[in-house]
Amino acid sequence: MQKTIRELPVSERPYEKCLKNGPASLNDSELLAVILKNGVRGSSSIDLAAEILSAAEHTPYTGLLALMHLSLEELMKIKGVGHVKAIQLKCIGELSKRIAATSASFCLSMSHPKTIAQYYMEQLRHEEKEILICMMLDSGMHLLGEQVLSTGTVNASLITPREVYLEALRYHAVSVVLIHNHPSGIPTPSNADLQITERIYHTGEMLGIYLVDHVIIGDHCYFSFMEQGILKEYAV
């Protein structure tokens, strides 16, 4: 028979366990149980948390990471998860992305592609469609702003140089950096990536707004056109 939280030994209750040993002492189900607060009739919050994690097993990911790939509708199909709990769970994922981005922002340098990749990694590596972002920079290579230019299919982002530079002109940018993700997790540029990057590079030369880099985000890996010397090839 399943036990309620109150029926568990004090040492096994998530709140008490966290208070005594810190949050790192909790397993995934216990961490979720603390967020959920309540279970459903006949099941504790720990049981409900375990059921949620089990429901996420159909994704390519495991554990808490899989939660980020469950939609609100999929979450609400689980007994005991209504609108409020589903939104709470989705917000956990968004919060983790923003914490990661905030931490990476302190080291962000436009001349170091690795820091750009770190800044966008948690935001983009979980996406199931390609998203193209343009970073607008001033003369000192400082970030003026960023804009999502395209949310494409799982195979390609549809974008033209016109869209990139209209946005850059709106920000009075001197240069730009492009970032997009590959849902496959493999950041190697496709032929389409190479072709559109070359077009954007040459259009920028004519406008006097230069493409500094194009960074492709994979799963904990990245590809930088600048780092690989491809942009120098375009300049020849």
Instruction: Give the integer Cα–Cα distance in Å for 3 and 13.
Output: 11
The model's pLDDT over 166-221, given as tens digits with 9 standing for 90+, comes to: 999 999 999 999 999 999 999 999 999 999 999 999 999 999 999 999 999 999 99
The answer, yes or no, to whether residue 3 has pLDDT greater than 60, is no
For the whole model, what pTM was predicted? 0.67
The model's pLDDT over 102-138, given as tens digits with 9 standing for 90+, comes to: 766 667 788 899 999 998 998 898 888 899 999 999 9
Strand partners, 137: 143, 175
The answer, yes or no, to whether residue 1 has pLDDT greater than 50, is no
**pLDDT at residue 179, as a whole number:** 96
**Does residue 10 contact residue 16 with C-beta atoms inside 8 Å?**
yes
Give the residue extent of every domain in the chain: 5-99, 108-235
Q: Which fold has domain 108-235?
A: Cytidine Deaminase; domain 2 (3.40.140)
The model's pLDDT over 19-69, given as tens digits with 9 standing for 90+, comes to: 888 888 888 888 888 888 777 676 777 888 888 888 766 666 666 777 777
The answer, yes or no, to whether residue 161 has pLDDT greater than 80, is yes
**Does residue 157 contact residue 180 with C-beta atoms inside 8 Å?**
yes
**Does residue 192 contact residue 156 with C-beta atoms inside 8 Å?**
yes
Task: Name which of 139, 229, 134 is nearest 178 in CA terms.
Answer: 134
**pLDDT at residue 7, as a whole number:** 63
Q: Say what angle helices 83-105 and 28-36 make with each other, to 10 degrees.
A: 120
CATH of segment(s) 5-99? 1.10.150
